[in-house]
């Protein structure tokens, strides 16, 4: 039966504009980085661009592959937290905004399967975006002939991007729970924005390794220099956050009032 639940969750995305919208947003990111790189590489033209040129120079960027991968990791980590929040809020929350949750929850299927299937759809959706945009980013970087490319650097860079994208996903089930608890899409997205701000704040303190929403900014170098490896405690915190999010979503679907 779980196979059918999973299949129907994919079917629900048929003709939806949301996957295309998320792809468009994420696909813009490498183009934005490439624009910065181009401005840094062409200081004469950068000066003609005024504020944008100044900001690019202030960022202290070098137009080279290591910096390019650094920026990509940042985008997949931070952007991922927000974009995944949108994806998960859409998958769980729209059952309430479209008032279809009542149809879904009174079927001869355990409610936990819907939570698991939706999270798997979110994971597939997110990983598809990540893979497409990594390919796009590589193509852009190669087309720009950025210096400093090596297969080893590319492999390490891609692993970092995938790690940032994967860790972002561990925070998604809490967003799912907020969507089910609030019966909509607005609260989970607002929650994610607040947590991103708090994550930044805690990231500048000694608690950064222990606060789940600071760990991704810490990994990708948003709050300090990026770290190569996270402490084991951070992985435990992320795993715990994931487990609590999944359990809370299932318990909410199973035991809370699901009125609309």
Which segment (11-19, 65-73, 122-130, 209-217) binds other proteins by CB under 8 A?
11-19
Residue 23 found at the interface with other proteins (CB under 8 A)? no
Using the minimum distance from each CB to other proteins, give the nearer residue, 3 or 60.
3
Residue 12 found at the interface with other proteins (CB under 8 A)? yes
Residue 100 found at the interface with other proteins (CB under 8 A)? yes
Shortest Cβ distance from residue 190 to other proteins (Å)?
Answer: 24
Q: Which of 24, 99, 142, 197 binds other proteins (CB under 8 A)?
A: 99
- The span from the CA of 18 to the CA of 98, in Å, is 15
- The span from the CA of 34 to the CA of 143, in Å, is 10
Using the minimum distance from each CB to other proteins, give the nearer residue, 69 or 125.
125
- The span from the CA of 248 to the CA of 119, in Å, is 13
Shortest Cβ distance from residue 188 to other proteins (Å)?
Answer: 20
Residue 182 found at the interface with other proteins (CB under 8 A)? no
Which segment (8-16, 26-34, 83-91, 223-231) binds other proteins by CB under 8 A?
8-16
Which segment (30-38, 78-86, 136-144, 247-255) binds other proteins by CB under 8 A?
247-255
Residue 255 found at the interface with other proteins (CB under 8 A)? yes
Shortest Cβ distance from residue 100 to other proteins (Å)?
Answer: 5
- The span from the CA of 233 to the CA of 239, in Å, is 10
Q: Which of 48, 54, 103, 205 binds other proteins (CB under 8 A)?
A: 103
Residue 225 found at the interface with other proteins (CB under 8 A)? no
Q: Which of 22, 192, 241, 258 binds other proteins (CB under 8 A)?
A: 258
- The span from the CA of 240 to the CA of 152, in Å, is 33
Beta-strand (E) ranges in the chain? none
| C-alpha pair distances (Å), 194 with each of 72, 150, 189, 197, 248 | 23, 39, 9, 5, 20
- The span from the CA of 176 to the CA of 153, in Å, is 35
Q: Rule CB under 8 A: which residues touch other proteins?
A: 1, 4-5, 7-8, 11-12, 14-16, 98-100, 102-103, 105-111, 253-259
């Amino acid at each position: 039966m779980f196979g059918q639940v999973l299949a129907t969750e994919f079917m629900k995305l048929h003709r939806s504009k949301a996957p295309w919208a998320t792809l468009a947003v994420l696909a813009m990111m490498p183009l934005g980085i490439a624009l910065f790189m181009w401005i840094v590489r062409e200081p004469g033209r950068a000066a003609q661009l005024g504020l944008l040129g100044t900001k690019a120079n202030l960022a202290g960027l070098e137009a080279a592959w290591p910096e390019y991968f650094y920026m990509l990791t940042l985008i997949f980590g931070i952007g991922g937290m927000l974009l995944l929040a949108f994806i998960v809020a859409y998958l769980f929350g729209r059952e309430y905004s479209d008032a279809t949750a009542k149809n879904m929850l009174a079927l001869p299927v355990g409610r936990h399967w819907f939570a698991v299937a939706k999270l798997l759809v979110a994971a597939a959706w997110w990983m598809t975006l990540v893979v497409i945009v990594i390919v796009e980013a590589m193509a852009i970087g190669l087309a720009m002939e950025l210096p400093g490319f090596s297969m080893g650097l590319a492999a390490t860079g891609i692993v970092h991007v995938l790690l940032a994208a994967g860790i972002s996903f561990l925070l998604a089930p809490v967003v799912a729970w907020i969507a089910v608890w609030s019966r909509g899409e607005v609260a989970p997205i607002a929650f994610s924005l607040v947590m991103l701000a708090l994550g930044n704040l805690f990231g500048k303190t000694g608690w950064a390794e222990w606060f789940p929403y600071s760990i991704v900014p810490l990994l990708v170098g948003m709050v300090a220099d990026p770290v190569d490896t996270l402490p084991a405690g951070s992985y435990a915190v992320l795993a715990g956050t994931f487990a609590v999010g999944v359990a809370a979503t299932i318990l909410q679907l199973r035991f809370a009032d699901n009125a609309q």
